[in-house]
Amino acid sequence: MLASRRSFLKTAAFAGAPLILPSRVWAQGAQKPKMAFIGIGIQGRGLLGNFLGQDVQVVAVCDVDKTRREHACQTVENYYKNHPDKGTAGNCKIYSDFREVIARKDIDMVCVATPDHWHAYITIAALKSGKDVYCEKPLTYSIGEAMAVLKTSRETGKLVQTGAMQRSAFEFRTAAELVRNGAIGKITHVDCNFGGPSRPHRDYENPANAEKEGAPNPDVDFDMWCGGAPLVKYSDRLAPRGVHNFFPMFWRFDDLFGSGYCGDWGAHHLDIAQWGLGMDASGPVKIIKSTAGIPTDPILGGRRQEGMQMVFANGTVLHHNPFSTWGTVFYGTEGIVAVNRGKFAMWHGKACAPDDAVRAKIQDGSFDGCEKVSFYRKKEDGGSCDAAAHAARKAFLKEAKIKLYQTKGGHPADLVKCFTTREQPCSNAEVGARAAVLCHLCNISYVRDAAFEWDPVANTFANGTGDPAWLVRPQYRNNWAVV
């Protein structure tokens, strides 16, 4: 059955009840949450390792790939055999259909690390069945789905932690706190540096496996892997088999399953921009389309790869540039803060708007437009990332009024803590949904080669620009419709 759900957009909006619930100890008291993992590829494997060390009991693992789910179960059993203080061995069940996991009343929490096109459906089903959710980033495949997840989290009171774990890292929190406390004045520009948009679907031939491609394989349920997306020809480039480290899987770049680097890395660096700008409950009001050259590689579908800009209501302009040393760079009337994983820099003194020359000097540290407070990208720079961030904190955050959410022990541990306290976690449903909206606005602008205005309250296009059809998957396959 094919379902068209554009009508959803008429009624869906982000406006709603505040997300912060009163802090209270849940009925479970001291009992630790029973947890399930759905989607155990590369990231799911890493998250499983992390959560096993937390105060949870893993009782279920689910993947459409037999090798992966069996391997994950073995990991759980071995862990509990070797760490009996952490949990009980012999309790982990294996599933290929996530609906059986969701139906289990005894499970309190699920971790969703499937490809993006499954995030919303599984997250919403889990929330509705009374479970808290750790869902990987970007929170959803589309803007309509982001609204649906947020709405369900609000209605059920169940928690969502989005896997945008840069918010748990000291350097990113420091950057955002500096900006929020006015250490570099009023923010005029932000650079977010990551790769390009999604690409048109194609057949992904892998010569090494030519005769196996497309052949039914009892060890992988590829129909279920495709879910609400069209059932395409199987390729192990799209959905690699077994326990492996093939990266990146091509589903990330494919229009049907992901949103290219705009979703993959935008979910990290745009999220940090939102945090620094204090936009977690809002978003931009205008998207200026790129005028960069159109690439000739046919795989890229004639889509520009950089140069889109977003304008916020206060006039701040966010620029999307290609991957660079820095993930997010804030430019203010009194300096610059630049940050990436394990990298931190700050300059202070006067206004510095970005252009090619400024960006190049910020990359190599030669920028002398104002005073360098600290700078660390790699060992050769001397010191450490933490030391560079600490130096900036010492100089500008001693009496900071605004203190941002500080997780203890990382994003997974933060959700486990919130399971008991019932407080909203660091990257809660609204934070994750808003970041996903930015990712998709960015991707839409490239895919449609469009400029448009945006209403961050109603979460729809404004002033007759854009097309609401761009906010949702046109049709979902089978019974997998989300919106």
Ligand X SMILES: NC(=O)c1ccc[n+]([C@@H]2O[C@H](COP(=O)([O-])OP(=O)(O)OC[C@H]3O[C@@H](n4cnc5c(N)ncnc54)[C@H](O)[C@@H]3O)[C@@H](O)[C@H]2O)c1
Site residues, ligand X (CB under 6 A): 38-44, 62-65, 68, 98, 113-116, 118, 136-137, 163, 165, 224-225, 227, 249, 264
Closest approach, Cβ 482 to ligand X, in A, equals 13
The residue written with tokens 């070797």 in the block is 82
Q: CB-wise, 243 or 351, nearer to ligand X?
A: 243
Residue 130 CA to residue 68 CA, distance in Å, equals 26
Closest approach, Cβ 150 to ligand X, in A, equals 18
Q: CB-wise, 117 or 180, nearer to ligand X?
A: 117
Order of all β-strands in the sheet with 452-455: 371-376, 343-348, 335-340, 328-332, 187-193, 317-321, 309-311, 286-288, 452-455, 460-462
Closest approach, Cβ 163 to ligand X, in A, equals 4
Instruction: Name the residue with the smallest CB distance to ligand X.
Output: 41
Closest approach, Cβ 287 to ligand X, in A, equals 23
Closest approach, Cβ 70 to ligand X, in A, equals 12
Q: CB-wise, 135 or 175, nearer to ligand X?
A: 135
Cα dist from 122 to 128, 148, 325, whole Å: 10, 12, 35
Q: Is residue 377 a contact partner of residue 343, using CB atoms and an 8 Å limit? A: yes
Closest approach, Cβ 231 to ligand X, in A, equals 13
Phi-psi region of 349 (alpha: psi -120 to 50; beta: other; left: phi over 0): left
Beta-sheet strands, E only, within 103-220? 109-112, 132-135, 160-162, 187-193
Q: CB-wise, 336 or 439, nearer to ligand X?
A: 439
Q: Is residue 239 a contact partner of residue 117, using CB atoms and an 8 Å limit? A: no
Residue 126 CA to residue 44 CA, distance in Å, equals 17
Cα dist from 102 to 122, 155, 462, whole Å: 8, 18, 38
Q: CB-wise, 13 or 224, nearer to ligand X?
A: 224
Closest approach, Cβ 480 to ligand X, in A, equals 9
Residue 467 CA to residue 431 CA, distance in Å, equals 24
The rounded Cα 110 to chain-centroid distance in angstroms is 17
Q: Is residue 239 a contact partner of residue 251, using CB atoms and an 8 Å limit? A: yes
Q: CB-wise, 45 or 377, nearer to ligand X?
A: 45
Count of positions (residues) in the chain: 483
Q: CB-wise, 240 or 284, nearer to ligand X?
A: 240
Question: Reduced to 3 states, what is the DSSP secondary structure of residue 190?
Answer: strand
Beta-sheet strands, E only, within 262-382? 286-288, 309-311, 317-321, 328-332, 335-340, 343-348, 371-376
Closest approach, Cβ 69 to ligand X, in A, equals 8
Q: CB-wise, 317 or 438, nearer to ligand X?
A: 438
Closest approach, Cβ 190 to ligand X, in A, equals 21
The residue written with tokens 């979703």 in the block is 263
Beta-sheet strands, E only, within 22-90? 34-38, 57-62
The residue written with tokens 């799209």 in the block is 238
Closest approach, Cβ 355 to ligand X, in A, equals 31
The rounded Cα 416 to chain-centroid distance in angstroms is 19
Residue 460 CA to residue 457 CA, distance in Å, equals 8
From 114, 178, 126, 184, select the one nearest 152 (Cα to Cα): 126
Q: CB-wise, 68 or 359, nearer to ligand X?
A: 68
Q: CB-wise, 163 or 197, nearer to ligand X?
A: 163
Q: Is 96 exposed, middle or buried (0-12, 13-18, 19+ CB in 10 A)?
A: middle
Residue 223 CA to residue 409 CA, distance in Å, equals 37
Q: CB-wise, 261 or 347, nearer to ligand X?
A: 261
Q: CB-wise, 94 or 370, nearer to ligand X?
A: 94
Closest approach, Cβ 79 to ligand X, in A, equals 19
Closest approach, Cβ 149 to ligand X, in A, equals 13
